A and B are shown apart, each in its own frame.
Chain A
Amino acid sequence: MTSITRFLIAGIGFFGVAALCVGCGPATPDDGADPQVATQGSIEVTAKLVDITGKFPPNDLYDYAYVMKYEVLKTHRGEATGTLLVGQYNPLKKRAVAADERSGEIGGNVTRFRVGDIHRLALEPNIDEYCMAGIINKYAEEDKPSDAPLYWAVWTNRVIQ
């Protein structure tokens, strides 16, 4: 093994270990509050993403909203408690760039959706009034869609505890 090979392997190892150390380290707490989430929508909650049923379909031709299940941890504005079904528009995209002519103004700083994450959400209660795209609701049979309200996520910020 030449000295250059050893140098390269050591460099790769150093970067890898450094990244893992930095990645595993404690992140700065963030309650997700900002002027947008505090003013958009009629409801504002901090909620834990407890379930994403199925996989997000590709968004190559059609953008869609995907309904996910949240558990409310704290209500900041409006009325919402317990389990909420929330439609996130075009969930394969970062919230900051997901908005288009069919979604209206949406946003936030969440870049991807993972079960277990906590989000600060600005919501509207009736998704059909806000979302012009298809709405994929995997809970349709389970939760009787005509009874369970589907919320529309207007703003979605990450919360780091």
Chain B
Amino acid sequence: MDATRTTKMASFRDMFFSAKPTLLFPSLEGLGVGWGMGARNNPPPAPPGRGVPGSRERFPKWFLAAIFLVIIAIEGPVQALLDLRSEGRPQVLDFLSQAPTQDNLRTFESALEDNAWSAEAVRPAMQYFRYALGEDLGAKALAGKDDWLFYRAGAEFLMQPWPHAVEGGGTDDPLGAIVDFRDTLAQRDIALLVVIAPGKASIYPDKLSARIAETDERIYGHARAFLDRLAEASVPTVDLFARYATAREGHEAPLYLERDTHWSPEGLRLAAKAVAERVIKEGWIPNGTLEYAIQPVEVSRVGDVLRMADSPYITARFAPESIACAQVTDPATGQPYADEAEAPPVLVLGDSFLRIYQSDAPGSAGFIAHLARELKQPVASIVSDGGASTLVRQELARHPELLHGKKLVIWEFVERDLRFGTEGWQKVKLGD
């Protein structure tokens, strides 16, 4: 944290915690409105009975109560009128159109909160207020050291117990879903390679808290144990945790972006290299011959964790990260790398870790392009943001032709999705 920001925050806190009431509400003082605490410390002479109307003690209570009641009174009617204009009927009437079950009531309450005009109007400023006071980024993000930001669910996955699910545990059984997919592919003579992308907090726990050592295998114990279980089930994997730990010890460039959940260009390059080494070593596919070229490209990116804070005032406090990418290009045409859907023997499935720099700016500079460069041949891919646990295989099921001619499927998913994967870990039937 820089000195300017520290000074600003200190002055902000001082204003709200140390300032006298007269500084915050001078107009109320001018109106003869007393401050609650001050009024209790220096009470006016207590009159008998109901007290004197307009005394310094009674007026602020009325004033605050009136403001409170007015806010409550106008919220509902204004919301109803806005709903009427936009939807034809007030949202509050949804309450009457559904059975009052627990689920329906929770959904109704949540929808009311999400669509409330007052919440929309106040939320960004309140979020900034909380951040300025205590670096609270809300329910979804965590502020770390040196302006590093973390996705809360990713940190929670590391800190909370995870029993690795019970075998046969329906959609909460990642091992069962992976083994089922491996067996389905094996029936078509296609190998499966599983790649767990480490969460940022697993590799940079010291940026989340000063109390955690730079490298400690216990931090990513859930993923470590799951990799062991995959090995016991004879599912081939690539251990990026060990590779990244070694890279950090060598003080290489940061492997993750500071205010984003995803890996940096250096992180994805290491991952692509490790995966390609395993593929070549196993001999799953014929060696390629294409020598892709590299084109340096710089992009700037506002981190997705910063966007989760849901306040433009917070976003404005951070400059976008400037990122030096390596775009993969075809040496024959000079064009950026592009997938080939049917011809190549490799199909890559994954989540937003495959999307960043690839279909996102600058394009053709992500994991997929760099894997193709390492393998010296194009690949096919399906990318589903946040959907690597189940959704990406459902998309494959809608397009089974993508498996024709394939010898290897590489399946990437982020560590936290072992527990939090969208739609869990369903077993997906693949069509012919």
Chain B, residue nearest A137 (CB): B394
A15 to B79, CA, bound (A): 12
Q: Are B77 and A19 in contact (CB under 8 A)?
A: yes
List residues of chain B with CB within 8 A of the CB of A61: 140, 151, 153, 261, 304, 308, 386
Chain A residues 116-142 with CB under 8 Å of chain B are 116, 128, 132-137, 140
Binary flags per residue of A100-130, CB closer than 8 Å to B gives 1, else 0: 0110000001111010100000000000100
**Count of chain B residues with a beta carbon within 8 Å of a chain A beta carbon:** 56
Q: Are A92 and B114 in contact (CB under 8 A)?
A: yes
Q: With A16-B77, A22-B80, A27-B84 in contact, do A62 and B114 touch (Cβ < 8 Å)?
A: no
Q: Are A23 and B83 in contact (CB under 8 A)?
A: yes
List residues of chain B with CB within 8 A of the CB of A1: none
Q: Are B73 and A23 in contact (CB under 8 A)?
A: no
Q: With A4-B66, A24-B93, A109-B86 in contact, do A64 and B73 touch (Cβ < 8 Å)?
A: no
Binary flags per residue of B85-107, CB closer than 8 Å to A gives 1, else 0: 01111111110010000010001
Interface stretch among B8-16, B268-276, B324-332, B397-405?
B397-405
Binary flags per residue of A54-92, CB closer than 8 Å to B gives 1, else 0: 010100111110000000000000000000000000001
Q: With A19-B80, A22-B84, A62-B352 in contact, do A12 and B398 touch (Cβ < 8 Å)?
A: no
A55 to B109, CA, bound (A): 13
Whether, in the assembled complex, B277 has its beta carbon less than 8 Å from a beta carbon of chain A, the answer is no
Whether, in the assembled complex, A18 has its beta carbon less than 8 Å from a beta carbon of chain B, the answer is yes
Q: Are A15 and B87 in contact (CB under 8 A)?
A: no
Whether, in the assembled complex, B431 has its beta carbon less than 8 Å from a beta carbon of chain A, the answer is yes
Chain B, residue nearest A25 (CB): B84
Binary flags per residue of B125-149, CB closer than 8 Å to A gives 1, else 0: 0000000000000011000000000
Q: Are A60 and B308 in contact (CB under 8 A)?
A: yes
Q: Are A64 and B422 in contact (CB under 8 A)?
A: yes
Whether, in the assembled complex, A33 has its beta carbon less than 8 Å from a beta carbon of chain B, the answer is no
Q: Which of A23, A109, A116, A160 contacts B80 (CB 8 A)?
A: A23
Whether, in the assembled complex, B39 has its beta carbon less than 8 Å from a beta carbon of chain A, the answer is no
Q: Are B395 and A135 in contact (CB under 8 A)?
A: yes
A64 to B423, CA, bound (A): 12
Chain A, residue nearest B78 (CB): A19
Whether, in the assembled complex, B297 has its beta carbon less than 8 Å from a beta carbon of chain A, the answer is no
Whether, in the assembled complex, B162 has its beta carbon less than 8 Å from a beta carbon of chain A, the answer is no
Whether, in the assembled complex, B225 has its beta carbon less than 8 Å from a beta carbon of chain A, the answer is no
Whether, in the assembled complex, A48 has its beta carbon less than 8 Å from a beta carbon of chain B, the answer is no
List residues of chain B with CB within 8 A of the CB of A116: 97
A8 to B64, CA, bound (A): 13
Please classify the interface of chain B as helix (H, G, I), strand (E, B), loop, or mixed, using the class held by over half of its residues.
helix
What distance in Å separates the Cβ of B287 from its nearest Cβ neighbour in chain A?
32
What distance in Å separates the Cβ of B37 from its nearest Cβ neighbour in chain A?
24
Q: Are B88 and A160 in contact (CB under 8 A)?
A: yes
What distance in Å separates the Cβ of A127 from its nearest Cβ neighbour in chain B?
9
List residues of chain B with CB within 8 A of the CB of A43: none
List residues of chain B with CB within 8 A of the CB of A140: 394, 397, 428
List residues of chain B with CB within 8 A of the CB of A110: 87
Q: Are B76 and A15 in contact (CB under 8 A)?
A: yes
Whether, in the assembled complex, B62 has its beta carbon less than 8 Å from a beta carbon of chain A, the answer is yes
**Residue in A18, A61, A140 whose Cβ sees the most chain B Cβ within 10 Å:** A61
Q: Which of B73, B91, B93 contacts A15 (CB 8 A)?
A: B73
Q: Are A112 and B91 in contact (CB under 8 A)?
A: yes
Q: Which of A18, A23, A135, A150 contacts B93 (CB 8 A)?
A: A23
Q: Are A132 and B115 in contact (CB under 8 A)?
A: no
Chain B, residue nearest A23 (CB): B90
**Residue in B62, B74, B87, B107 whose Cβ sees the most chain A Cβ within 10 Å:** B87
Q: Which of A20, A114, A128, A160 contacts B398 (CB 8 A)?
A: A128
Q: Which of B70, B93, B387 contacts A134 (CB 8 A)?
A: B387
What distance in Å separates the Cβ of B30 from its nearest Cβ neighbour in chain A?
22
A12 to B68, CA, bound (A): 12
Q: With A62-B352, A136-B423, A158-B87 in contact, do A16 and B76 touch (Cβ < 8 Å)?
A: yes
Q: Are A18 and B89 in contact (CB under 8 A)?
A: no
Q: With A23-B93, A60-B308, A61-B140 in contact, do A112 and B87 touch (Cβ < 8 Å)?
A: yes
Q: Are A136 and B87 in contact (CB under 8 A)?
A: no
Binary flags per residue of B396-418, CB closer than 8 Å to A gives 1, else 0: 01111000000000000000000
Other 18 A-B pairs with CB < 8 A, given A19-B81, A116-B97, A133-B385: A8-B66, A8-B69, A16-B73, A19-B77, A22-B80, A24-B89, A27-B88, A30-B88, A55-B107, A61-B386, A64-B386, A110-B87, A111-B115, A112-B87, A132-B385, A133-B384, A134-B385, A146-B398
A interface residues (Cβ-Cβ under 8 A, vs B): 4, 8, 11-12, 15-16, 18-20, 22-24, 27, 30, 55, 57, 60-64, 92, 101-102, 109-112, 114, 116, 128, 132-137, 140, 145-146, 150, 158, 160
Which 7 residue pairs spanning A and B have beta carbons closest together? A62-B386, A134-B387, A23-B90, A146-B431, A19-B77, A27-B88, A19-B80
- Would you mind naming 14 contact pairs between A and B with Cβ atoms under 8 Å apart? A12-B72, A16-B77, A19-B77, A19-B90, A23-B83, A30-B88, A55-B103, A60-B308, A62-B387, A110-B87, A112-B91, A133-B386, A134-B422, A140-B397
